[in-house]
Amino acid sequence: MKVLGLLKENAGVNVVALTPDNVKHLSEHYTVIVESGAGVLAGFTDEAYGLAGAEIESDRALLLKKSSLLITLSSKINFSGIEKHKTVIGGYGVLDELESILQFTNNPIDFFSLSLLPRITKAQSMDILSSLAALSGYQAVVHGFDKSMVVSPMISSAGGTLYPAKVLVLGAGVAGLQAIATARRLGAVVTAFDIRKQTKTEVESLGADFIEVMGAVEDESSGGYAIEQDENFMTKVIDSIALQAKDADLIITTARIPGKKAPKLITADMLKRMKPGSIVIDMAADTGGNCEFSENNKTVLKDGVFLLGESTIYNRVARSASILLGNNMTTFIHHFRSNEDLTFQDEILAATLVTRNGKIVHEKICAEVN
Ligand code: NAD
Looking at residue 183, its amino acid is A
Instruction: Supply the pTM of this predicted model.
Output: 0.93
Is 101 a residue whose pLDDT tops 90? no
pLDDT, mean of residues 334-338: 96
Flag whether pLDDT at 77 surpasses 80. no
Q: How far, in Å, is the centroid of ligand 1 from the Cα of 347? A: 21
- Alpha carbon dihedral 86, 90, 92, 95, in 10-degree steps, equals 60
58-73 pLDDT, tens digit per residue, is: 999 999 999 999 999 9
Q: Band the pLDDT of 82: cuts 50, 70, 90.
A: confident
Average pLDDT score over the chain: 93
C-alpha span between 328 and 112 (Å, rounded): 14
- If one residue of 234, 241, 256 were mutated to test the ligand 1 pocket, choosing by the most ligand atoms within 8 A of its CB, it would be 256
Q: CB within 6 Å of ligand 1 — which residues? A: 119, 124, 127, 129-130, 133, 170-176, 193-196, 224-226, 229, 254-258, 263, 265
Count of beta carbons in the 10 Å neighbourhood of residue 5: 28
Among candidate residues 65, 68, 60, 57, the one with its CA nearest the CA of residue 34? 57
Annotated catalytic, 130?
yes
pLDDT for the residue 213: 93
What confidence tens digit (pLDDT) does each residue in 87-100 have? 999 987 777 677 77
Residue whose C-alpha is closest to residue 172's, from 139, 119, 142, 210: 210
Contact at 8 Å (CB) between 285 and 310?
yes
